[in-house]
Amino acid sequence: MSDNDTNQASDLREETAAAAPEVAEHDAADVRLEKLEAELAESKQAVLYAHAEAQNIRRRAEKETADARAYASTAFARDLLSVADNLSRGLDAIPGDLREDEKMKGLVAGLEATGRELEAVFQRHGIKKMTTIGEKLDPNFHQAMFELPSDEPAGTVVQEMQSGYMIKDRLLRPALVGVAKAQ
Instruction: Using pLDDT thresholds of 50, 70 and 90, give the confidence band for residue 180.
Output: very high
For residues 169 and 139, state if they share a domain.
yes
For residues 156 and 170, state if they share a domain.
yes
Give the span between the Cα atoms of 4 and 9, in whole angstroms: 9
Confidence check: pLDDT of 143 > 60: yes
For residues 112 and 150, state if they share a domain.
no
For residues 100 and 34, state if they share a domain.
no
The predicted structure's pLDDT at residue 18: 54
Model confidence pLDDT, tens digit, residues 52-105: 999 999 999 999 988 888 777 888 888 999 999 999 999 999 898 888 888 888
Q: Last residue of a domain, which of 55, 71, 87?
A: 71
For residues 112 and 174, state if they share a domain.
no
For residues 11 and 38, state if they share a domain.
yes
CATH at residue 170: 2.30.22.10
For residues 112 and 157, state if they share a domain.
no
The CB density around residue 161, as the number of other CB atoms within 10 Å, is: 11
Q: Last residue of a domain, which of 52, 71, 90?
A: 71
The domain tally of the chain equals 3
Model confidence pLDDT, tens digit, residues 12-34: 556 555 555 565 677 888 889 99
Confidence check: pLDDT of 11 > 70: no
Give the span between the Cα atoms of 180 and 142, in whole angstroms: 13
In degrees and rounded to multiples of 5, residue 178 shows phi and psi of -105, 140
Rounded to two decimals, the pTM is 0.63
For residues 79 and 55, state if they share a domain.
no
Give the span between the Cα atoms of 9 and 22, in whole angstroms: 20
For residues 40 and 18, state if they share a domain.
yes
The predicted structure's pLDDT at residue 67: 81
Tell me what the mean pLDDT of segment 167-180 comes to: 93
Confidence check: pLDDT of 169 > 60: yes
The predicted structure's pLDDT at residue 20: 55
Residue 32 φ/ψ region, left for φ over 0, alpha for ψ in the -120 to 50 degree band, beta for the rest:
alpha
pLDDT averaged over every residue in the chain: 86
Q: Quote the domain boundaries for residue 109.
A: 73-125
For residues 140 and 101, state if they share a domain.
no
